[in-house]
Every structure is written in C-alpha cells, then in structure tokens.
Amino acid sequence: MVKEAKNKKLKVLVIHGPNLQLLGSREPEIYGSVSIDSINKLLKEKAKTLGVQLTIVQSNHEGEIVDAIGAAPEKKVSGILINPAAYTHTSVAIRDALKAVDTPAVEVHLSNIYQREEFRQSSLTAPSCIGQVGGFGVQSYLLGLDALFHSM
C-alpha cells in the first residue's frame, strides 16, 4: 500500500558517509561485496514500491553532510536515511544537524557496529535519530527505508 501525506509525495534524503563509494572492494569480509551503485539501485526499487521520491548523496566531507541535512526542511524532505560511516563515532556536528531539523532520521550500517572494534561500538549520531538498523548488510538500508516510511 502506498502512503501519501495529503496527496504530497514523500521525499527521503539518503546520505552515504565517508568511504562508502569504495563498497564492493573495501573490506568485503566486513561490508560485503555489494557496491554503492547496487545499494542505490535497490533503494530506488524499494522507494518506487513505497511511492517515495529519493535524493541520494555520498560525501567524504563532514561539512557537506551537515549542509545536506540542514537543507532538508527547505527542500521539504520527509525523512532522512543516513549511514554516517566513520562519522557515526566522531561527529557532534552531524548529530547536532540531525537534532536541529524537524525531520525524522534512521541511521543504518551494513555491519553490526556493536560487534566491531571498541571505538566503533558507540554512535554519537543515533540519539538524534528515531531508530538504527545495522548488521544486515544491504538489507539494513532496505529495512531502514521501510521503517522510516512507516514513521512519516
């Protein structure tokens, strides 16, 4: 069933953080062999079934991610699906940006950060999100999009 808010198409901003452009070749034993292009294709297919419009960005630069989040209200974004990647554990700026906008966000991770190195086992950004999905590979993105959709 397609959910639309007062005949207005729901818009989701997907943010891929640093180094995610290297998916498919970067540590496949942790992140799998799927590329970012494949993830984006699957997200677009899922979004189509939900009747959601996606805008997808990938950046290795913290400020660009903060800017994308900050522009969400002006662009009438209904929700944010974010994999902050390494910034998960270090970025107060991304945390604050997520908190500052009145836009629900779901944090996703390909790996289970709580089974990783100690420094990766905490998320500074998750408390600014309505939920977090991780450890299911590419399914984390799809589950996150589905959860976000049902919360908007």
Which positions are catalytic? 31, 109
Nearest Cα neighbor of 101 from 74, 141, 131 is: 74
**Interacting residues of 38 by C-beta distance below 8 A, sequence separation 6+:** 24, 138
Tokens of 106: 């779901």
Count other Cβ atoms within 10 Å, centred on residue 40: 16
